[in-house]
Amino acid sequence: MAKRPVTGIDGGSQVPGFEHAYLNGQVLPYQQAMVHVQSPAVKYGAGVFEGLRAYWNAANQVLNVLLIDEHSARLGQSARLLRFEDRFGFDQIRAAVLDLLRVIRPQQDVHIRQTIYLDGDGAMDANGPVSMSVIAVPSSRPKGFDAGIACQISSWTRINDNTLPPRIKCTANYMNGRLALLQAKQDGYDNALLLNSNGFVAEAPGACLFLIKDGVPVTPGVTSDILESITRRKMIELLSEYLGLRTVEREVHRTELYSANEVFLCGTAAEVTPISSIDRLSVSAGKPGPVTRELQRLLLGIARGESDDHPEWRTLV
Ligand SMILES: Cc1ncc(COP(=O)(O)O)c(C=O)c1O
């Protein structure tokens, strides 16, 4: 029977220097982190995952994982909502990331993917056996970080809380975003924005969204069928703490995006990615705005530990 390796974030392959994977308490050669074709993970997408980032500080020669506690807590919550057997507690989930990074010892920024999934060969209603994997790959700034990206409002509708809960990071959820992303790319855009089943703006396939209109930050609320994004919450804090701006969390119409002064995506992978046009209508002058730029600066400064602020966001590897 064919076996497939657990792969990197973008289906990536083994990268020199990163040839290890964590699997169920052990750090193994990357190619040995296997999952069976008959597993519910393969058959039904029965998995939950986190994408984390760790930032290399060249001046201090240290690597910090960003917001590891928040990611560990959300992964446990995702597994609970899918009624997986309770095999891995918060401490084990958290330690798994650090265990792998302490073997690989990267001296560059990395993206980490941690998955809890249904192993074995069970049926659709299986609750176990449960496995946990972690892999890490080199990473850099997301596409469009400097110049912005072109987005398309998708004709695909965002999944909703009564179908597949977007609030959690369930592997199967991502088939919804995949359809939107493939359509957008085929149509010549960089990314998609999905509306929810009530016709309001939800999010991108892998990131949340903010707009700035007349100095007021606005973002779809957590009942708009979005992932409960960790970065989104931190953006709200940064906007308040450093820029004195209170974010309004509410339903957002698509045409509000066309007339906004600034629109950006946020997320672990997206960091803060400016959107320069939507449906070929340019956002303001088509250039990243001042609030977007400032949030990029603040986020990277804290993440990399170049700023002394918010040390609780960083965990030393
Ligand atoms: C669908 C979706 N929305 C939003 C986000 C942003 O979430 P976070 O800030 O927790 O990374 C992600 C993942 O990164 C995502 O997959």
Q: Is 109 in the pocket of ligand 1 (CB under 6 A)?
A: no
Q: Return d(Cα 225, Cα 198) in angstroms, integer.
A: 10
Residue 79: the pLDDT is: 98
Residue 174: the pLDDT is: 97
Q: What is the reported pTM?
A: 0.95
Residue 13: the pLDDT is: 54
Identify the band that residue 171 occupies on the pLDDT scale cut at 50, 70 and 90: very high
When pLDDT is averaged across residues 174-199 and rounded to a whole number, the result is 98
> Scanning the structure block, which residue is given the tokens 């960089």?
190
Q: Return d(Cα 305, Cα 317) in angstroms, integer.
A: 13
Identify the band that residue 16 occupies on the pLDDT scale cut at 50, 70 and 90: confident
Residue 8: the pLDDT is: 44
Burial tier of 26 (Cβ tally within 10 Å: 0-12, 13-18, 19+): exposed
**Percent of the chain beyond pLDDT 70?**
96
Q: Is 78 in the pocket of ligand 1 (CB under 6 A)?
A: no
Q: Where are the domains of the chain?
A: 3-138, 149-304
DSSP assignment letter at 78: H
**Cα 203 → chain centroid:** 12
Whether 7 has a pLDDT exceeding 80, the answer reads: no
Report the top-level CATH class of 149-304: alpha beta
Task: Give the position, in ligand 1's atom list, of the atom nearest the Cα of 205.
Answer: 1
Q: Given 3, 143, 169, 287, which residue is catalytic?
A: 169
Return the exposure string of 141-163: e unless at least 16 CB atoms fall within 10 Å of the residue's CB, then b: ebebbeebbbbbbbebbbbbeee
Q: CATH for 3-138?
A: 3.30.470.10
Q: Is 73 in the pocket of ligand 1 (CB under 6 A)?
A: no
Task: Specify the amino acid at residue 315.
Answer: T
Whether 9 has a pLDDT exceeding 60, the answer reads: no
Report the length, in residues, of the chain.
Answer: 317
Q: For residue 1, report the distance from its CA to the centre of ligand 1, in Å.
A: 34
φ/ψ of residue 299, rounded to 5? -60, -50
